[in-house]
């Protein structure tokens, strides 16, 4: 399982929100490039970038910083979400050197857009499913839809989606532990690789997710393949290097 540090961008700074609320943000750094270097030095192999301003504006706002990070560290895998509403934006980010583009709101409002993106850019599209009590939230989590998370995931099972990032909004940024049961249930329902997000607080969460990852591997399903961590690694309740080393060790032991 891959542990993926999050760099959430708001007004050019690296921040973390609580339950997606823009008015409850904590600034962790004014230099996102230095933050990226910190996680690379700790052993990160992929980084999760979010344009928070873009998620609400419906178009990229912090694109310049994203460009600087991916061009400064070309060997680091990257994925970007926030404000991606058209193929032009997808192409723009991929041309910059971003490896994967995350489609969230448009996956609910226009599922055909996801399928078109998958056809145009094979293997490069990740669907972001952010849920509150099992219902998908959109527009930077400002709205809750009438679509269930599992229903949405199943809709893209054969569309060419690379993977799904599943975020439990109620736990995001709250340091209350990850919702392993819901994440594993989603993986079993859609059989696509799932990247867990929201609430990851300590090594206990990583151990539980890694165990679920191994169960998925043995079952032959997509399973849980990654875990995104933000506030926990910035505040020190989770040691990123220790977490990735543990997952690597489990992979070696279990094949």
Instruction: Extract the tokens encoding 152.
Output: 């949405």
Burial class of residue 239 (count of CB atoms within 10 Å of its CB; 0-12, 13-18, 19+): middle
Report which DSSP code applies to 45. S
Backbone phi and psi for residue 7, each to the nearest 5 degrees, phi listed first: -120, 100
Report which DSSP code applies to 169. G
Among candidate residues 11, 23, 86, 130, the one labeled active-site is 130
Say whether 200 sits in a helix, a strand or coil. Answer: coil
- Tokens 């736990």 correspond to 171
Q: Taking a C-beta distance cutoff of 8 angstroms, is the pair 91, 104 a contact?
A: no
**Pairwise CA distance, residues 139 & 20, whole Å:** 10
**Pairwise CA distance, residues 190 & 214, whole Å:** 17
User: Can you list the alpha helix ranges (DSSP code H) found in the chain?
Assistant: 32-41, 52-57, 63-72, 87-96, 105-109, 111-120, 149-155, 180-190, 203-219, 231-235, 240-254
Among candidate residues 8, 51, 99, 205, the one labeled active-site is 8
**Pairwise CA distance, residues 35 & 231, whole Å:** 13
Reference 86, options 49, 112, 64; nearest CA is 112
130 is catalytic: yes
Residue positions annotated with a catalytic role: 8, 130
């Amino acid at each position: 399982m891959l542990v993926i540090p999050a760099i959430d961008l708001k007004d050019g700074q690296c921040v973390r929100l609580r339950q997606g609320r823009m008015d409850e943000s904590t600034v962790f750094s004014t230099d996102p490039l230095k933050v990226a270097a910190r996680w690379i030095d700790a052993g990160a192999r992929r980084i999760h970038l979010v344009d928070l301003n873009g998620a609400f504006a419906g178009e990229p706002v912090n694109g310049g910083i994203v460009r600087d990070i991916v061009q400064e560290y070309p060997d680091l895998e990257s994925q970007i979400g926030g404000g991606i509403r058209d193929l032009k934006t997808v192409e723009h980010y991929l041309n910059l050197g971003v490896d994967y583009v995350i489609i969230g709101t448009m996956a609910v409002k226009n599922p055909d857009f996801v399928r078109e993106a998958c056809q145009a850019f094979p293997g490069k599209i990740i669907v972001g499913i952010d849920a509150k009590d099992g219902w998908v939230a959109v527009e930077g989590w400002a709205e809750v839809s009438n679509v269930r998370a599992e229903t949405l995931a199943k809709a893209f099972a054969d569309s060419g989606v690379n993977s799904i990032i599943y975020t439990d909004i109620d736990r995001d940024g709250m340091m209350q532990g990850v919702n392993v049961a819901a994440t594993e249930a989603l993986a079993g329902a859609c059989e696509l690789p799932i990247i867990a997000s929201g609430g990851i607080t300590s090594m206990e969460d990583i151990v539980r997710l890694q165990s679920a990852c191994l169960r998925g591997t043995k079952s032959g399903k997509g399973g849980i393949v990654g875990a995104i961590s933000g506030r926990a690694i910035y505040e020190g309740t989770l040691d990123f290097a220790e977490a990735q080393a543990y997952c690597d060790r489990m992979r070696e032991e279990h094949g």
